[in-house]
Amino acid sequence: MALTNEHIKERLQQQFGEQVSEWEEHYGLLTFKAPAEMNLKVMQFLYDDEELRFRFLTDLTGIHYPNRASEELCVVYHLHNMIDNIRLRMKIYVPVSKPDVFTATQLYAGANWMERETYDFFGIQFIGHPNLKRILNVDEMDYFPMRKEYPLEDSTRIDKDDEMFGRGEL
Amino acid sequence: MSESLTRHHIKLREDSLEKETTTLNLGPTHPATHGVFQNILEIDGERVLEATPTIGYIHRAFEKIAERRPLYQITPLTDRLNYCSSPINNMGWHMTVEKLLGLKMPKRVDYLRVIIMELSRIADHLVCNSVIGVDTGALTGFVYVFQYRERIYEIFEEVCGSRLTTNIGRIGGLERNFTPAAWEKLDAFLRDFPAALREFETLLNRNRIFMERTIGAGPIDAERALNYSFTGPNLRAAGVDYDVRVQQPYSSYQDFDFDIPVGTTGDAYDRYQVRDMEMWESVKIIRQALEKLKDLDPSVYHADAPEFYLPPKTDVYTKMEALIWHFKIVMGETEIPPGEVYHSVEGANGELGFYLISDGGRSPYRLHFRRPCFIYYQAFPEMIKGGLLSDAIIAMSSLNLIAGELDA
């Protein structure tokens, strides 16, 4: 029998009880929240279980929600069971003051750069990562640019000095 | 491998301060790397002991820029990911938004998109395969097949007006129907291309020098490839038949009958072969799409969704509704539902995913591109370790690294 979202949910609730929460199904993709310190345990369970077999890490990324008190930063894992062809999304939340998350590199070699990228842009500290340094930005950068406190310039602003761009009056 | 790694060619005096290996800076601009890639190699003679890739030279912060743009203005950003096959990126993005909005495309739009996407897959694979030829010393094939890439670009030009960074299609369909000239060019391409590809194959497929250079260069086995989250031709060359077009069909790919070629060893030769076979499959798909299109109303090229699909410019100047919709779409005043959507398409390099989070505003709250290049390039040091320096070059070109996709 093919694996269904309901069954995955049931198995995870059986194993972790109330610790896995915020179940959602966006466009058919089962989504849940796990406690930050449990991320490896849940992923290991999903990996090892002979029925669930989520052994492919499709994507790993971060999101910043400045309004969610003490869980401002979110790490999203997209997992894929290629045998039953079903996807799963796991989210964990950490406070921006102490953004510590266990690394998934032991489980998935591919998580290495994805975590470096997430660190680079959101400042999430992946504990146990073999080489956690910036990957796309320059090493000297002292902030995490994808956080919401660094908005892009308003494209409608009018206070710009055109002279600096060679368009103004001389 | 272990023996070659321990055997050092340079013998030094006991008290020497020199080291026995050589550090070689390959890139960021190097004629053999086809793009801005830097690798700091530790080599012993010709053997690569260690490689440290540095990336980010053309990082343009697309994900950040996208947080301030209305959805339709993000299409040109996707052009610049894998710029060898921009239409696939464009359409992947459009389909992501359509999934969020709950739009359903007419069959004809799906098939037209399939034709364009398969053409760009051919263009992309042509570049990759002919460049492997160039890196092994065979320039002829490269110059020869580029004529056909040019003809694909001419078709794109007929369909959307531009060639490389296409910005092709719109959210809700294509911005215009295929012109008669586009159909003619497509027919001519389908007539001439198979013979050219066969001739190209005779140059390389059983070429002694080419085989010697590519077989065993930069191999990766299926288990490691999966662990490294490989997708696309590079994963299939290792023997895993994962293809998004089949596993999660989009744009009516389920209506088509085609094979997924797989390799066994995951080395440069298998990657070359998989891409080669895929071009034949793409031709097959385009032919089927042309057949299917015969039964459909030839005037349909977009969905009936005036609130999201930009109206034709002539209507904007003459009709009130069109003017209103045009204004609303351009000013980003359309109602975007809040939600989270992950949509992926089979890009020329693998699973190209779009993770879009909308909070109901005019631009995405967060947009993340799952770029296949970025993910599989991290396996590069492992793939070339213990091999020759010249194999590393072949491994890199056979992975089809595109700097734009790597750095986003």
DSSP sequence for B251-315: TTGGG--------SS-SHHHHHHHHHHHHHHHHHHHHHHHHHHTTS-TT--B-S-TTTSPPPHHH
Average pLDDT over residues A159-164: 69
Domain stop point among B33, B54, B75: B54
User: If pLDDT is split at 50, 70 and 90, which confidence band does B1 have?
Assistant: very low
pLDDT score of B10: 66
Lowest mean pLDDT: which of A2-6, A106-110, A160-164? A160-164
Q: Which two tokens stand for residue A119?
A: 């660190």
Q: What residues of chain A lie within 8 A of the CB of B377, using their CB?
A: 113
- Residues ≥6 apart with Cβ < 8 Å to A141: A134
Q: What residues of chain B lie within 8 A of the CB of A138, using their CB?
A: 56
Give the whole-number percent of chain B exceeding pLDDT 70: 98
User: If pLDDT is split at 50, 70 and 90, which confidence band does B269 have?
Assistant: very high
Asked whether the predicted pLDDT for residue B252 surpasses 70, the reply is yes
Same domain, B92 and B23: no
Rounded to whole angstroms, the Cα distance separating B174 from B87 reads 11
Q: What chain A residue is nearest to B370 in terms of C-alpha separation? A: A59
Rounded to whole angstroms, the Cα distance separating B227 from A55 reads 8
pLDDT score of B275: 95
pLDDT top residue among B332 and B236: B236
Q: What is the pLDDT of residues A125-156, one digit of tens each?
A: 999 999 999 999 999 999 999 999 998 877 66
Handedness of CA B144, B146, B152, B158 (dihedral sign): negative
Q: What is the per-residue burial (b if ≥16 Cβ within 10 Å, else e) of B265-280?
A: bbbbbbbbbbbbbbbb
Same domain, B68 and B47: no
User: If pLDDT is split at 50, 70 and 90, which confidence band does B5 have?
Assistant: low
- Which one, of B319, B345, B331, B406, lies nearest residue B169 by Cα? B345
Same domain, B307 and B378: yes
- Residues ≥6 apart with Cβ < 8 Å to B74: B66, B93, B364, B367
H or E segment to which residue B343 belongs: strand B339-346
H or E segment to which residue B54 belongs: strand B47-54
Rounded to whole angstroms, the Cα distance separating B278 from B125 reads 8
Asked whether the predicted pLDDT for residue A36 surpasses 80, the reply is yes
Rounded to whole angstroms, the Cα distance separating B53 from B57 reads 11
pLDDT top residue among A168 and B235: B235
Same domain, B29 and B97: no
Rounded to whole angstroms, the Cα distance separating B350 from A80 reads 15
CA torsion angle A147 A148 A152 A153 (round to 10): -130
Q: What is the pLDDT of residues B183-217, one digit of tens each?
A: 999 999 999 999 999 999 999 999 999 999 999 99
pLDDT score of B13: 76
Handedness of CA B102, B107, B112, B113 (dihedral sign): positive
pLDDT score of B333: 80
CATH number of the domain at B247, please: 1.10.645.10
pLDDT score of A2: 78
**Mutation site, A24, A53, A59, interface B, largest B CB count within 10 A:** A59
Q: How many domains does chain B have?
A: 2
Same domain, B26 and B98: no
Rounded to whole angstroms, the Cα distance separating A93 from A74 reads 4
**Mutation site, B368, B371, B374, B401, interface A, largest A CB count within 10 A:** B368
- Helices in B136-204 by DSSP H: which ranges? 139-160, 180-204
Give the whole-number percent of chain A exceeding pLDDT 90: 76
Minimal C-alpha gap between B136 and chain A (Å): 29
pLDDT score of B256: 95
Average pLDDT over residues B351-377: 93
Whether B73 and chain A come into contact, CB under 8 Å, resolves to no
pLDDT score of A164: 67
Instruction: Find tokens 């996707």 and name the residue.
Output: B78
Asked whether the predicted pLDDT for residue B250 surpasses 70, the reply is yes
Domain of residue B42 covers: 2-54
Whether A68 and chain B come into contact, CB under 8 Å, resolves to no
pLDDT score of B221: 92
H or E segment to which residue B78 belongs: helix B75-79
All structural domains of chain A: 19-148 (3.30.460.80)
Asked whether the predicted pLDDT for residue B35 surpasses 90, the reply is no
Q: Which two tokens stand for residue A49?
A: 């279980």
Whether A121 and chain B come into contact, CB under 8 Å, resolves to yes
Q: Which two tokens stand for residue B182?
A: 């586009």
Whether B9 and chain A come into contact, CB under 8 Å, resolves to no
Tell me what the pLDDT averaged over chain A comes to: 90
**Mutation site, B68, B103, B226, B345, interface A, largest A CB count within 10 A:** B226
Q: What chain B residue is nearest to A31 in terms of C-alpha separation? A: B340
- Asked whether the beta carbons of B391 and B339 are under 8 A apart, the reply is no
Dihedral pair phi/psi, residue A41, rounded to 5°: -60, -45
Same domain, B85 and B69: yes
Same domain, B169 and B39: no
Distance (Å) of CA B226 to CA A2, A108, A146, B275, B396: 22, 9, 29, 19, 19
The CA R_g of chain A, rounded to the nearest whole Å, is 20
H or E segment to which residue B21 belongs: none
pLDDT score of B330: 86
Same domain, B389 and B359: yes
Same domain, B216 and B356: yes
Q: What chain A residue is nearest to B101 in terms of C-alpha separation? A: A27
DSSP sequence for chain A: ----HHHHHHHHHHHHGGGSEEEEEETTEEEEEE-GGGHHHHHHHHHH-TTT---EEEEEEEEE-TTSTT--EEEEEEEEETTTTEEEEEEEEE-TTS-EEE--TTT-TTHHHHHHHHHHHH--EEET-TT---SSS-TT--S-TTSTTSPPPPTT-----GGGGT-S--
Rounded to whole angstroms, the Cα distance separating B274 from B254 reads 21
pLDDT top residue among A163 and B72: B72
Same domain, B182 and B331: yes
**Mutation site, B52, B81, B223, B340, interface A, largest A CB count within 10 A:** B340
Instruction: Find tokens 């299109």 and name the residue.
Output: B293
Q: What residues of chain B lie within 8 A of the CB of A55, using their CB?
A: 226
Whether B374 and chain A come into contact, CB under 8 Å, resolves to yes
pLDDT top residue among B348 and A166: B348
Nearest to A136 among B59, B100, B227 (CB): B59
Asked whether the predicted pLDDT for residue B368 surpasses 70, the reply is yes
Rounded to whole angstroms, the Cα distance separating B331 from B70 reads 8
- End-to-end, the C-alpha distance of chain B in Å comes to 35
Q: Which two tokens stand for residue B88?
A: 């696939």
| Bridge partners of residue B255, in order along the sequence | none
pLDDT score of A152: 83
- Asked whether the beta carbons of B90 and B78 are under 8 A apart, the reply is yes
Same domain, B292 and B329: yes
Kindly determine whether residue A136 and residue B228, on different chains, have CB atoms separated by under 8 Å.
Answer: no
Same domain, B158 and B11: no
